[in-house]
Every structure is written in C-alpha cells, then in structure tokens.
Amino acid sequence: MKKSSLWQFISNTPVSAWRHLIEKARLYKELFLCPTTPWLIKTLMVIAVLYLLMPIDLIPDTIPILGVTDDLAIMGLILSYADRFITDEMRDRVNNRQQ
C-alpha cells in the first residue's frame, strides 16, 4: 500500500521538528561555550533557562494557555536575539559533529 504525500508529510513532521530542536540546542550550547560570545548574551541565556524553571512567573502557570505562553515568549525573545551571534563556524562545528 502506497502512502500519500500528505500522510508522509504528517508522519515526518514530528521527527523533523525534534531534529530541528536538537540542532538548535547544540547551536546554543556552542554559542554559550564559545569564548568570543559577549557576556551579555551568555547572561541572557542563563536568565532565560532560569525563568523557564522558576516556579514564580509573571503569569502563573496554573492559568491555562497564558501561563505557559509567557515562558515561551520570553525564551523565544532571548533566544532569537542570541541567534544573531551564531556564526557560520559554529554551525559548521555542530554539523560536523552530527556526521
């Protein structure tokens, strides 16, 4: 039985999403460990992780949808800013380790 292209897309999406998340985590680790990364970026990355783990939030997690949204928004803002400092050399090192 041949699978439709829509079914292949739907079944492959979670796998590709996890691969993307793992690649991004490796890039952020590389960015954090790089000695040329500004201390402000490293500090913001630590703050983002601590805020995600902290039990006290701006919007409590007990409020459906909104409670998690503020955590994700702050993480997204900080990490999108940190993305600007990821160099091509860092991407190459991460890609070479995967192979």
Does position 26 have pLDDT exceeding 80, yes or no? yes
pLDDT (average), residues 36-59: 88
* Per-position DSSP letters for the chain, written without gaps between them: -PPPHHHHHHHHHHHHHHHHHHHHHHHHHHHHH-TTS-HHHHHHHHHHHHHHH-S--SS-TTSTTHHHHHHHHHHHHHHHHHHTT--HHHHHHHHHHH-
Query: What pTM does this model have?
Result: 0.74
Q: What is the average pLDDT across 71-80?
A: 88
The predicted pLDDT at position 10 comes to 66
